[in-house]
Amino acid sequence: MSTQFEIRGLRSSIEGKEILKGIDLKIQGGEIHALMGPNGTGKSTLASALMGHPKYEVSEGEVSLNGEDVLEMGVDERARAGLFLAMQYPSEITGVTNADFLRTAINARREEGQEISLIKFVRQMESKMKELEMNPEFMHRYLNEGFSGGEKKRNEILQMLMLEPKIVVLDEIDSGLDIDALKIVAAGVNAMRSEERGFLIITHYQRLLNYVKPDFVHVMMQGRIVKSGGPELAERLEAEGYDWVKEELGIVDETVGQA
Amino acid sequence: MSTPTTSFGREAAAALARSKNEPAWLVDWREEAGELASKLELPKPEKMPLQRWTLDQYGTHRPGTTVGSAADLPAAITELLPAEELGALIVQHNSSVVFTRLSNDLKAKGVILTSLDEAVRTHEKLVRDHLMTAYKKDEHKLAAVHAALWNGGVFLYVPRNVDIEFPVQALMFADDAEATFMPHILIVADSNSRVSFVEQAATLLEGGAATLLHNSSVEVFAKAGAHVRYAAVHHMDRVVVDVAYRRAILENDARMEWIVGDLHDGNTLTDTKSILKGNGSTSDSKIISVGTGGQRMSLTTQAVHIGKSSESNMVTRAVMKDEATAIINGITKIEHGATKANGQQTEKVLMLSPKARGDANPILLIDEDDVMAGHAASVGQVNAEQLHYLMSRGISRQEAERLIIHGFLDPVVSEIPLAGLREQLHRILERKLG
């Protein structure tokens, strides 16, 4: 059965301020959805709330992945159920090498006694790093420590390739990437396209969508999805900006929860 | 108790030295130290009163049994020695050195490795020129007691231009709570020599409430252009009080590296200090510690810059559990005339329990304008963002915490120059952090 991911009426707040005001979105395996919108409209909040970041409180709504209640799960359980978030600002962790971290993450998905062998793991990691044109040294570097912005983004994609999630949320994976890195990241995403896997790509710009063709494009404003369409919507947004959407919907200030 | 606690002083020190047939100069020297011991005050480390510590347990002379081959060492000792390592080795058991191994190749190059007990006879001049000149016997009561009573010990001399490839290993071991256990390690690295030295202090004391005082000292003399790397792992029983004063004096362009795991289970007082006397000398100190139970620790790192363009870097990282207390001091002193000196220090404490205490005190004392100096100190809990990040990849909270805590100490652990000891250190950390 192909993956079914559904968000219904999701409301979420941070420090008492409501940011998400009822999100409805259905993603099926094989589909790529792009979530676009100006800064401060709640896109990253949606990503964080889905993953279960402790700062974001969910007050209403449901999220299900293949019939399982995601909101009932802890952060690590969500990940093991198949949810993956490529973060906008990944943490740096001293003393934990990239390889140790990824091997621990892979083994967390396996039964005790069924752990991946070191040699198999290393081969797999080496080959995925090669695909992403990453320096093999990064395998033994401390997790994200001293990585440039672009290197961190590639490292997020590396994790996606290694962990083979069912639902992938990419939170502004394209920001801070030069065009070559963008193409490599896009190739990584395209290589992962399959009937079993759905994508939600959060971005400001059309740029990435030139390389990863979305099936659906959604526009977010004021903590809601205010408009949905096909790839042509992203192209129009790139050409004309967001003002026409605001005008059409009678929105003056598109942001949400800003002081 | 048979231990001569209150009566200890001039006469006791001299009597003990005579009973061990020590050379006359050393008997006099011990006598003087005994006199100082009865007069001087205890040291006063920041925010750590020592009055309540049991520091007057001097023990009695209990030499171990000397053996001719490593295979004849007691099992408790061989278990602590990394099996695959074959470099130079010296072992102290309670009050004396029981085994020394040095390859003929190194002997032929003029390398000396003996107990300090023996070196005071066989290499009197070298010993007298250096012994307790970096850590002086009149610094305070503990220094004077150490001078009066040090036993066993290590003397390592590395001649000019000699590069000892494989680390020299020393194991200081006690299993008798009534023994005097006060090793002194003296290293003289002559011009342009290179050596790595690895020291382990361990005990195996069955139950009992008796306190054993490990009043130890390390002195390193790095002559011009010499590089010395000194790694130490202390992991003794809770009833042991660990006192370790470590000192290095660096001549021109010498380099000193301290890599220390203060992982003792009982009260701990350590002070690791590099004196950068020579121009262009550099020192790097990395200390880790894990506080558990109700133990109290005073951990100090110091760098004193006298030479021009001298550079020091000091890092202390401590993980605090249960009701343990650690006062962590970093003291960078730059003397007048030490132009272009650069002294940096960082103290980081990771708190795992609300009842634990960890204080980081960075201190910069600078008497020269043309220098660079910096410090960073932090005390905090496991970072919530880091935890979330690891968990978002499917790693359980418990495992994520374990990774972060071990990772916090890894920058020091990974620097330990012997693979076998590094493994041992991982086991000690697993146990202490468990």
Tell whether the model's pLDDT for residue B221 goes beyond 90: yes
Name the residue among A79, A95, A142 with its Cβ closest to that of B393. A79
The predicted model gives A235-253 an average pLDDT of 93
In three-state form (DSSP H/G/I as H, E/B as E, the rest C), the secondary structure along chain A is: CCCEEEEEEEEEEECCEEEEEEEEEEEECCCEEEEECCCCCCHHHHHHHHHCCCCEEEEEEEEEECCEEHHHCCHHHHHHHCEEEECCCCCCEEEEEHHHHHHHHHHCCCCCCCCCCHHHHHHHHHHHHHHCCCCHHHHCCEECCCCCHHHHHHHHHHHHHHHCCCEEEEECCCCCCCHHHHHHHHHHHHHHCECCEEEEEEECCCHHHHCCCCCEEEEEECCEEEEEECHHHHHHHHHHCCHHHHHHHCCCCCCCCCC
B408: nearest CB among A74, A76, A94: A94
Distance from CA of A51 to the nearest CA of B (A): 7
Phi/psi of residue B402, nearest 5 degrees? -60, -45
Look at residues B120, B147, B150 and name the one whose alpha carbon lies nearest to residue B134.
B147
Q: Is residue B6 predicted with pLDDT exceeding 60?
A: no
Confidence band for B3, pLDDT divided at 50, 70 and 90: very low
Give the residue from A77, A94, A166 with the most B CB atoms within 10 Å of its CB, the best one to mutate.
A94
Q: State whether A85 and B410 contact (CB < 8 Å).
A: no
Q: Are residues B115 and B96 in contact, defined by beta-carbon separation less than 8 angstroms?
A: yes
pLDDT for the residue numbered B416: 85
Look at chain B and count its residues.
434
Q: Would you say the C-alpha torsion B44, B48, B51, B55 has a positive or negative sign?
A: negative
User: Which residues, including other chains, have CB under 8 Å from residue A2's CB and lie 6 or more apart?
Assistant: A28, A29, A30, A195, A196
Which pLDDT score, from 0 to 100, does residue B411 have?
87
CB contact under 8 A, B389 and A159: no
Write down the pLDDT at residue A176.
83
Given this model, what pLDDT does residue B4 score? 42
Model confidence over B149-167: pLDDT tens digits?
A: 999 999 999 999 999 999 9
* Contact residues, chain B, for A48 at CB < 8 Å: none
Alpha-carbon distance values, A35 to A117, A169, A204, A254 (Å): 38, 10, 8, 15
In DSSP terms, B112 is beta-bridged to B157
Res B207 pLDDT > 80: no
Rounded to 5 degrees, what are φ and ψ at B388?
Answer: -60, -40
- Helix H or strand E segment including B128: helix B124-130
Task: Say which amino acid occupies B13.
Answer: A
Residue A36 binned pLDDT confidence (cut-offs 50, 70, 90): very high
Give the mutation candidate from B288, B391, B425 for the A interface (greatest A CB count, under 10 A).
B391
- Which ipTM did the prediction report? 0.96
DSSP character at residue B78: H
The helix (run of H) or strand (run of E) holding residue B347 is: strand B342-351
Q: Which of B384, B394, B409 sits opposite A95 (nearest CB)?
A: B409
The pLDDT value recorded for residue A119 is 96
- The whole-angstrom separation of Cα A183 and Cα A179 is 6
Percent above pLDDT 70 for chain A = 99
Residue of A nearest to B402 (CA): A96
Q: Residue A53: its chain B contacts at CB < 8 A?
A: 388
Identify the closest residue of chain B to A110 by CA–CA distance.
B394
Nearest residue in chain A measured CA to CA from B413 = A95
| CB within 8 Å: A76 and B395 | yes
Task: State which amino acid sits at residue B138.
Answer: D
pLDDT of B299-333, one tens digit each?
Answer: 999 999 999 999 999 999 999 999 999 999 999 99
Closest CB from A76, A95, A159 relative to B391: A76
The model's confidence at residue B2, banded by pLDDT at 50, 70 and 90, is very low
Q: How many CB pairs under 8 A join A and B?
A: 79
Query: Do A84 and A167 touch, CB atoms closer than 8 A?
Result: yes
Are B150 and B116 within 8 A, CB to CB? Answer: yes
CA distance A79 to chain B (A): 5
Say yes or no to pLDDT of B394 above 70: yes
- Scanning every residue of chain A, which has its alpha carbon at the shortest distance from the alpha carbon of B403? A96
A145 contacts chain B (CB < 8 A): no
| Cβ proximity of B151 and B95 under 8 Å | yes
Per-residue pLDDT at A25 exceeds 50: yes
Contact call for B397 and A74, based on CB within 8 A: yes
Q: Residue type at B278?
A: G
For chain A positions 32-61, those within 8 Å of chain B (CB to CB) are 51-54
Strand B296-305 and strand B325-334: pairing?
parallel
DSSP output for B133-173 = TSS-TTSSHHHHHHHHH--S-EEEEE-TT-B--SPEEEEEE
d(CA B233, CA B242): 12
Question: Which residues on chain A are in Cβ contact (under 8 Å) with B399?
Answer: 104, 108
Q: Is A167 on the interface with B (CB under 8 A)?
A: no
d(CA A135, CA A129): 7
Mean pLDDT of B223-248: 96
What dihedral do alpha carbons A62, A67, A70, A76 form, nearest 10°? -170
**Where does the pLDDT of residue B7 fall: very low under 50, low under 70, confident under 90, or very high at 90 and above?**
low
- Is the pLDDT at B278 greater than 60? The verdict is yes
Q: Is B386 close to A93, i.e. CB distance below 8 A?
A: yes
Closest CA to A34 of A178, A181, A183, A232: A232
Backbone angles phi, psi at B142, to 5 degrees: -65, -35
Torsion of CA B1, B6, B7, B13, to 10 degrees: 90
Least Cα separation, residue A101 to chain B (angstroms): 8
Q: How far apart are CA B362 and CA B419, in angstroms?
A: 32
- Rounded Cα distance between B251 and B372, Å, is 20
Check B397 against A79: CB less than 8 A apart.
no
- A53–B394 C-beta distance less than 8 A: no
Does residue B209 register a pLDDT over 70? no
Q: Looking at residue B85, what is its pLDDT?
A: 66
* Beta carbons of B404 and A93 less than 8 Å apart: yes
Determine how many CB atoms are found less than 10 A away from the CB of residue B12. Answer: 19
pLDDT at A206: 85
pLDDT of residue B82: 79
Q: Which residues lie below 8 Å from residue A169, measured CB to CB, with a gap of 6+?
A: A47, A50, A51, A83, A84, A85, A86, A199, A200, A202
Residues 6+ apart with CB under 8 A from A53: A75, B388
- What pLDDT was estimated at residue B243? 97
CA dist B244 and A84 (Å) reads 49
For all residues of chain B together, what is the average pLDDT?
94
Write b or e for each residue in A52-74: b if 16 or more Cβ atoms lie within 10 A of its Cβ, otherwise e: bbeebebeebebbbbeeebeebe
Is the backbone of residue B20 left (phi > 0), alpha (psi -120 to 50) or beta?
Answer: alpha
pLDDT for position A100: 96
Inter-residue contact A38 to A255 (CB < 8 Å): yes
Taking residues B164-187, report their average pLDDT: 96
Sheet holding B194-203, edge to edge: B96-101, B89-93, B168-174, B194-203, B227-235, B255-262, B282-291, B311-320, B342-351, B372-380
pLDDT in tens, A132-160: 999 999 999 999 999 999 999 999 999 99
Structure tokens at B211: 């306190």
pLDDT category, B358, cuts 50, 70, 90?
very high
Q: Give yes or no for a contact between A56 and A14, defined as CB atoms under 8 angstroms apart.
A: yes
Instruction: Return phi, psi of residue B307, to 5°.
Output: -75, 150
**Would you say residue B5 has pLDDT above 50?**
no
Interface membership of A94 toward B (CB under 8 Å): yes
Question: What SS3 state is found at B332?
Answer: strand
Is some CB atom of chain B closer than 8 A to the CB atom of A159? yes
Instruction: Give the mean model confidence (pLDDT) for residues B373-383.
Output: 94
Q: Please state, in angstroms and as integers, the Cα–Cα distance from residue B123 to each residue in B23, B115, B127, B191, B216, following that order.
A: 12, 11, 6, 18, 21
Strand locations in B263-335, DSSP E?
268-276, 282-291, 296-305, 311-320, 325-334
Q: Which three-class secondary structure state does DSSP give residue B286?
A: strand
Task: Decide if A163 and B403 are in contact by the 8 Å CB cutoff.
Answer: no
Q: Residue B1's pLDDT is what?
A: 36
Overall average pLDDT of the B27-55 stretch: 94
